[in-house]
Structure 1
Amino acid sequence: MLISLCFAVLLVYLSRVKLRQYFRGAQFTENVSAKKKVAIVTGGSGGIGSRIACELNKRGAKVYLFCRNVEKAKRVVKALVNDDGAVASRLIVIECDFTKLATVRSAVEYFQSRETRVDILVNNAGIWSGGPYCTLTNDGNETLWQSNYLGHFLLTQLLLPQLQYSSAARVINVSSVCNWWADNVAKDTVYAMEKYCPKWRTYCRSKLAQVMHAVAMTNYIREVDPNSRITFNSCHPGCVETDLVRTLPLCSNMPNVLMKLRQFFLKTENDGAQTPLFLALSSEVEGVSGKYFNEMKEAGTHPLAYDLDACETLFEESLNACWLRK
């Protein structure tokens, strides 16, 4: 009887471990160095952004954290150095608020005064909701759209000279599986106040735009320079237990028992960093561009991401919205 009980307990324990491993998802274990590489990670003041920055740093890269909250970012850098063994001299914080395109431009100008190239650009910063009502930034764009997508579009365009200077730069857009539920990214939808959805749809549109951005940039850069080795990919990091999730209405006041259950089924911030790190460093995706990944594997995505005309239209409209037309 005792042996049977012990066996049952062991079986339950092993099942729980296996189940937890499943929900953690694929782990990037490839032994690849990032020594002497220059990286930019947006939204590095917390969540998976800080874990991506930490791992790149520990592998030898100099990492610039483009963050809205500089003081918070500096505290995170201190924690990464003290608790995770990151090297402080290779973690540099630059203020960059994606709701203000002027700060994106000033952040790039400051970066360009220090560096001649970018080897890795991780467009990771994002927000869940722009608020209960549709609001416009001072630049005239819907707030969530600009924060999650348009600001990163501008950042990528401004950094193209530095990306080209790298031997084989990689740009990673941290999107979401939520892109599947977007209706479209047409201008008359994105900018229509009556079509704003604070709970879901608006966020999905911005995530689809990130996927389409990687496709459009791949086509654009190959037309400008057929020999360019810059790659642009997007990915779903998984369902991650981050501050963004914790502040959702259903999660913020969740009882402790349900909170523990939620944490069991969600990825940790470190787990969520694995697919972006895979795209930033792995030899398996060398030369691969314009693709969408989930769990370190190429995955299917929204039909609009395969519509090259739609991707090009979004690209052209984004150039206009960022005042990049000459």
Structure 2
Amino acid sequence: AMHAIVDVLFFLVRLPCWFAISWVQFFYRCVVPKRKSIRGQVAMVTGAGAGIGQLICVRLARLGCRVAAWDISSEGLEATRRLVAEACGSSGSAQFESFICDVASREACYSVAKETLNRMGRVDIVVNNAGIVQGKTLLDSDDDKTEKLYRVNLLSHYWITKALLPHMLSRGSGHLFYTASCAGWIGASHLSDYCASKAADVIFAESLQSELRSCYPNARIPVTTLCPYLIRTGMFQGCNSPIEWLFPSLDPAYVADRAVAAILAEESLVAVPRIVYCFIALKTVLPNPAYEALQKLGNVDQFMLPFRGSVSSSKAKAN
């Protein structure tokens, strides 16, 4: 009993110290952001044929990365290749390799991961970015489309990470990046499958980070999760921010910049815009009726009504 009391007291003494150190580190990084060099590294990006994935490829190539771009669309990958060439000049072609992959297929994920290692020689950064949306109520949803959504948005993260993590561990370094969503924290009507998949992405990344820290303490493999708000891409065609004055829909270039900055700074959880952190905190402390009132104020229940389906676009700008 005395031993247990000592353990509790020791924990209570250490807890405020941990908090203090964490806050000092946080504010220091706000003033002096960490920025590692990734020049010469190999970055693998899924969903690279359009939208955020395409723009992330361009930014990583500009920073000197060799990019292994995965997508199901050969046309999209060719468009990304052109953007990388425009952004990087004569070195652009040498910095870019494309891989056709349907990440909804477990076999394809493992096979293309092996092909990527064979062709690129190594993989230092894995950006799991591919995602799809169905946009139906639970009763109107199609079971096959729902299953595919989970395969693309969640299970592909398992398969790709499992395929490439041993390579990173053998080298003792790497970086794992996951594009989740604010929808992983805040449930919305017509998005039960999408929100659930993104919530699982957040917790998967957090659990993996804990696993790496405890099971492989000598390996330096940071894990980053990006949770953006509504982005002006073709994914949510027809939808607009329900509270544009507080939560304006996001420019894809800005989100891509934030994603790459998070990789360079080795941030863990990144919400875009930052005010989302406040709503996440409020969700944990507000009584349920108050939280429901906040959702109604934000028009969360009506957000998806104008939804016209997802449109894959390869017309993103390289800026």
| TM above 0.5 | yes
Is 2:66 aligned against 1:89?
no
Counterpart in the other structure of 2:214: 223
Counterpart in the other structure of 2:249: 266
Counterpart in the other structure of 1:211: 202
Counterpart in the other structure of 1:122: 127
Query: What is the letter of the counterpart of residue 177 of structure 1?
Result: C
Deviation by residue 1:38-81 (Cα, 9 ceiling, x = unmatched): 10111111111111110110110001111111222112211332
Work out which of the residue numbers 40, 48, 51 in structure 2 matches 1:47.
Answer: 51
Counterpart in the other structure of 1:313: none
| Structure 2 segments unaligned to the other structure (5+ residues) | 1-29, 285-319
Counterpart in the other structure of 1:135: 143
- On the 8 A contact 1:119/1:166 being kept in 2, the answer is no
Alignment of 1:87-236 (within 5 A): 87-129=92-134, 133-136=141-144, 142-182=147-187, 199-236=190-227
User: SS of the residue aligned with 1:60?
Assistant: coil
1:296 and 1:88, CA in 2 relative to 1: closer, same or farther beyond 3 A? farther
Deviation by residue 1:219-249 (Cα, 9 ceiling, x = unmatched): 222333221211112112342111112x34x
Please tell me the root mean square deviation across aligned C-alpha atoms, in Å: 3.4
1:122: how far off?
1.0
User: SS of the residue aligned with 1:240?
Assistant: coil
Tell me the TM-score normalised to structure 1 length.
0.65
Deviation by residue 1:100-157 (Cα, 9 ceiling, x = unmatched): 22211211121121244322111111011187533338xxx81111110111211011
1:35 and 1:201, CA in 2 relative to 1: closer, same or farther beyond 3 A? same
Is 2:271 aligned against 1:294?
yes
1:243 and 1:126, CA in 2 relative to 1: closer, same or farther beyond 3 A? same
1:94: how far off?
0.6
Query: What is the letter of the counterpart of residue 260 of structure 2?
Result: L
Counterpart in the other structure of 2:258: 275
Deviation by residue 1:245-304 (Cα, 9 ceiling, x = unmatched): 2x34x57xxxxxx9xx99x9432211111222122112xx3xx6xx42124879475999
**What CA distance in whole angstroms lies between the structure 1 residues aligned with 2:154 and 2:51?**
18
Counterpart in the other structure of 1:64: 68
- On the 8 A contact 1:116/1:162 being kept in 2, the answer is no
The size of the alignment, in residue pairs, is 244
- On the 8 A contact 1:237/1:276 being kept in 2, the answer is no
User: SS of the residue aligned with 1:204?
Assistant: helix
- On the 8 A contact 1:239/1:272 being kept in 2, the answer is no
1:274 and 1:165, CA in 2 relative to 1: closer, same or farther beyond 3 A? farther
- On the 8 A contact 2:229/2:250 being kept in 1, the answer is yes
Query: What is the letter of the counterpart of residue 134 of structure 1?
Result: D
- On the 8 A contact 2:58/2:83 being kept in 1, the answer is no
1:244 and 1:79, CA in 2 relative to 1: closer, same or farther beyond 3 A? same
**What CA distance in whole angstroms lies between the structure 2 residues aligned with 1:302 and 1:99?**
33
- On the 8 A contact 1:238/1:272 being kept in 2, the answer is no
Over the matched positions of the two proteins, sequence identity in percent amounts to 24
**What CA distance in whole angstroms lies between the structure 2 residues aligned with 1:234 and 1:294?**
9
Is 2:77 aligned against 1:73?
yes
Deviation by residue 1:1-29 (Cα, 9 ceiling, x = unmatched): xxxxxxxxxxxxxxxxxxxxxxxxx9xx9
